[in-house]
Structure 1
Amino acid sequence: MVKFCSLAEALAENLFDGDSVAFEGFTHLIPHAAAHEAIRQGRQELTLIRMTPDLVYDQMVGMGMAKKLIFSYLGNPGVGLLRRCRDAIENCHPRAVEIEEHSHAGMANAYEAGAAGLPLAVFRGYRGAGLTEVNPNIRSVTCPFTGETLAAVPALRPDVTFIHAQKANRKGDVLVEGIVGIQKEAVLAAKRAVVTVEEVVEDFADVHPNCCVLPQWTIRAIAVVPGGAHPSYAHGYYARDNATYLEWDHIAADRESFRAWMKIHVLDAKPEVFASRVGHLRRAA
């Protein structure tokens, strides 16, 4: 049965040292608040999984929490590099990090396979791609019916997936509106799923045509964290804080400035600060 609780409690009961964990969100609804709580609780030796790691994983890698990254596209969207990730990969600071890079299609299919309980994903892809030369988990299989050579990757089955969504109802069903991305599959593929939401409502009404409802039985815990996706946006609630993404490039460029920012804005902060951070942003259309 889904549990409504604080973010600190939800994370303490569901994310453990050594876990494989996905903090998923595509363009919007990126679960920054949940990632910050993981940092505050000092989780270590994590395998971080995500289609498009951005500031969230730059911060977690920079704090030395990750032993491995499984991803497609590693960067600060619209800006450039993830400087803490690059420092870890190139200079082993603050620790060495193993990387496993895929295409978006490879990651999406791997999540879908995990959600279906399959051991691998089979699809058309990676033909002539250089990734096959650096990622031993990209392999090929021959179709037993047509003889066609297809790409194969291991299914993704995180120990726990964290997502942010707009609403939950009091039964524990969760509504995701706007760009859904791979959140549904990441939740279904995981052993445990934790959702932060903008609000809890009696029931869902006037939903966006492009929406997804995750039933309560797919979710372990729900925490109400208004603004929990900031600086990404939440469709219908607040806009993307572009200035923060630009500022991050300068903050993360230096190890000392990074640690100073993390102490003020993450380590010494509380989950409720997310609501105040988005107060100056206009409500999204």
Structure 2
Amino acid sequence: MSTFMSLGEAIASAVHDGDSVAIEGFTHLIPHAAAHEVIRQRRRDLTLVRMTPDIVYDQMIGMGCAEKLVFSWGGNPGVGSLHRFRDAVERGWPHPLTLEEHAHAAMANAYAAGAAGLPFALFRGYLGVDLPKVNPNIRRVTCPFTGEELAAVPALRPDVAIVHAQKADRDGNVLIEGILGVQKEAVLAAKRAIVTVEEIVDDFGPRSPNAVILPSWTLTAVVEVPGGAYPSYAHGYYDRDNAFYLGWDAIARDREAFMAWMKANVLGQGPEAFAAHGRRAAA
């Protein structure tokens, strides 16, 4: 059953050096506040897993948290490259980064396989592409019934999954609405799961048809962090800060500018200080 904790307590209890950590959210509900707490607690040698690593992983890589990245696309959405990511790959700063690159379909199926307790994911894909040449975890198997050749990748079973959502009720159940990614599958596949939420409520009230409820028994910790997805958006609460994504390009290009920004806005702040931007955006 999930336990209500502070953000510092949740990260300290669930995220350890050397863990594989999936921080998921698609377009909105990206758990920036939780990732910042991982950085503040100076976790090291992490295998970071994410279908679409963007600014939040650029920050974690640049601060030396990551040893390996398992991903299917990486960039600053609508802007360009992730410069801290590139610096780690191209020049080994702050240290070398191992890459395991997949297609979106492979990642989604691998999470689903992990959630189902299966050892690998099986799907149609990876035909006429070069990724299998650089990723030994992409294999082909033959269907015993039809003889068809199919793609196979190992199931994703992260040590920890971290997601952001709109609401939790008093029993620790969590509601996610709006555009959905693989949050449900990541939580079900992980050994431990942390959810940060905009608010804790007595009742979820009316829900949209595509709403997802994560039952309390699937979660390790629930943390109330209003604005915890900023600068991404939280459907129904605040908009995406497009100016931040544009501004990040210049900050991340230069190592000294990056470190100065992180010291001022992440390392030198409490768990909810940066998230306060999201609260102001919602006002």
Q: TM-score, normalised by structure 2?
A: 0.98
**For 1:112-165, what per-residue CA distance to the aligned partner results, in whole angstroms no more than 9, with x for missing partners?**
000000000000001011111111101100000000000000000000000000
- Taking only aligned residues, the RMSD between alpha carbons, in angstroms, comes to 0.9
**1-structure distance, mates of 2:19, 2:281:** 35
Shift of 1:279: 4.2
In structure 2, the residue matched to 1:80 is 80
Q: Within 2, Cα distance between the matches of 1:142 and 1:275?
A: 49
Q: Which residue of 2 aligns with 1:226?
A: 226
Unaligned runs of 5+ residues in structure 1 are none
Q: For residues 245 and 112 of structure 2, what CA distance do their matches in structure 1 show? A: 30
Alignment of 1:100-249 (within 5 A): 100-249=100-249
Give deviations 1:221-245, integer Å, cap 9, x for gaps.
0110000000000000000000010
Q: Are 1:92 and 2:92 an aligned pair?
A: yes
- Aligned partner of 1:230: which letter? Y
Counterpart CA distance in 1 for 2:215 and 2:153 is: 28
CA contact (8 A) 1:226 1:274 kept: no
Could you tell me the percent identity over the aligned residues?
Answer: 67
1:281 Cα deviation from its structure 2 partner: 2.7
Give the letter for the 1:190 counterpart. Answer: A
Matched-pair contact (CA < 8 Å) for 1:196–1:224: yes
1-side partners of 2:139 and 2:258: how far apart? 38
Q: Is the 8 A contact 1:225 1:274 kept in 2?
A: no
Aligned partners of 1:113 and 1:119 also within 8 Å: yes
Give the deviation of 1:275 after TM superposition: 4.3
Q: Which residue of 2 aligns with 1:40?
A: 40
The separation in 1 between residues aligned to 2:181 and 2:279, in whole angstroms, is 26
Match of 2:277 in 1: 277
Is contact 1:2-1:216 (8 Å) kept? yes
Q: 1:275 to 1:86 in 2, by over 3 A?
A: closer
Q: Could you tell me which residue of structure 1 aligns to residue 258 of structure 2?
A: 258
Deviation per CA, 1:226-266, whole angstroms, max 9, x where unpaired?
00000000000000000010000000000000000000010
- Secondary structure at the aligned position of 1:269 is classed as coil
User: Cα offset for 1:213?
Assistant: 0.2
Distance 1:107 1:262, change over 3 A: same
1:32-89 per-position Cα deviation (integer Å, ceiling 9, x unaligned)? 0000000000000000000000001100000111110000101000000000000000
Q: Which runs of 5 or more residues in structure 2 are unaligned?
A: none
Alpha-carbon deviation of 1:173?
A: 0.3
Deviation at residue 188 of structure 1 after TM alignment: 0.2
C-alpha separation between the residues in 1 aligned to 2:34 and 2:275?
14
Does the C-alpha gap of structure 1 residues 275 and 254 become closer, same or farther in structure 2, counting only changes over 3 Å? closer
Question: Deviation at 1:274?
Answer: 3.7
Summarize the Cα distance change of 1:54–1:275 in structure 2 as closer, same or farther, 3 Å threshold.
closer
Matched, 1:19 2:35: no
Cα distance in 2 for residues equivalent to 1:33 and 1:272: 7
* Alpha-carbon separation, structure 1, partners of 2:70 and 2:99: 6
Name the amino acid aligned to 1:61: I
| Alpha-carbon distance in 1 for matches of 2:279, 2:5 | 24
TM-score (norm 1): 0.98
1:63–1:94 contact (8 Å) kept in structure 2: yes
How far is 1:271 from its partner? Answer: 2.0
Aligned to 1:68: 68
Contact 2:265 2:274 survives alignment (8 Å): no
